[in-house]
Structure 1
């Protein structure tokens, strides 16, 4: 009997990666809801600009939620799918009733900081496991999100 899964990764490594991916998934879900809340509740002189930007961001986050869950399934594991689990697992905390534009953007920046940190941890685990699929996904997300962080930080400056 082989100790590798259907895509040729050692099961112990796949399990460790799936656990980290589930942590990432939980953070994406909470962050998605935070950004959705910013979109709905933002007020102030930059309303139109930020309302549109937050919609762009949460749409992208929702796509990534699905991609992360599908990667967990590809590894042969089950994605967590209950909000109670997300709240328990996530490093990102719910950001409720925020309407000030600057505070919303700061919340987005804080969320991306957590995601990028988690994805770097995932990148390291994936490299150790020779898991190019997970590494490529994490690397692509990091590249995109670092640029978004730069742009949002420039917006606040």
Structure 2
């Protein structure tokens, strides 16, 4: 039988698991960046951005769990080591950023990278008739596009 318990093609599901693990790795790096920004931000926008970065990392933590649980639903194993995350991530790593503009630009660049990955997964999920993954990616994309618009407005772009 070439179908999973969910009625999806096994090969397409395995491919989706692989891509979702890449997204998981990228979200973990993004999450760690947000924690660092939250802790290290300085300047006149401290109060505003300290809270905003906390909002973002709390949201990312939920998404990380959702992605891992989707991988498990598709009968895969989620990556769970820092070595795996670093090896599989393309999101830029932000180290010791305390400047407000640099911090917000890092978030925008990270979200832009996540969007590319999510759109690829969205296409694959559509081809595989995987509505669960498709729906998750659609929700992530809509929310992140709005966040990029808002952050770019904050940056004056």
| TM-score of the aligned structures, taking structure 2 as reference length | 0.98
Corresponding residue for residue 124 of structure 2? 125
8 Å CA contact 1:87–1:93 kept in 2: the answer is no
8 Å CA contact 2:24–2:68 kept in 1: the answer is yes
Counterpart Cα distance in 1 of 2:33 and 2:145: 19
Residue 7 of structure 2 corresponds to residue 5 of structure 1:
no
Counterpart Cα distance in 2 of 1:36 and 1:5: 37
Counterpart Cα distance in 2 of 1:142 and 1:94: 21
Runs of 4+ in 1 over 6 A off after TM superposition: none
CA shift for structure 1 position 92 = 1.1
Query: SS at 1:70's partner residue?
Result: helix
CA shift for structure 1 position 151 = 0.3
CA shift for structure 1 position 95 = 1.1
Structure 1 residues 105-144: aligned runs within 5 Å: 105-144=104-143
Matched positions, count: 156
Unaligned stretches of 5+ in structure 1?
Answer: none
8 Å CA contact 1:31–1:92 kept in 2: the answer is yes
8 Å CA contact 2:92–2:106 kept in 1: the answer is no
Corresponding residue for residue 103 of structure 2? 104
Counterpart Cα distance in 2 of 1:14 and 1:6: 11
CA RMSD of aligned residues (A): 0.5
| TM-score of the aligned structures, taking structure 1 as reference length | 0.98
Corresponding residue for residue 75 of structure 2? 76
Counterpart Cα distance in 1 of 2:21 and 2:145: 22
Unaligned stretches of 5+ in structure 2?
Answer: none
Counterpart Cα distance in 2 of 1:85 and 1:136: 26
Counterpart Cα distance in 1 of 2:92 and 2:153: 24
Counterpart Cα distance in 2 of 1:60 and 1:135: 19
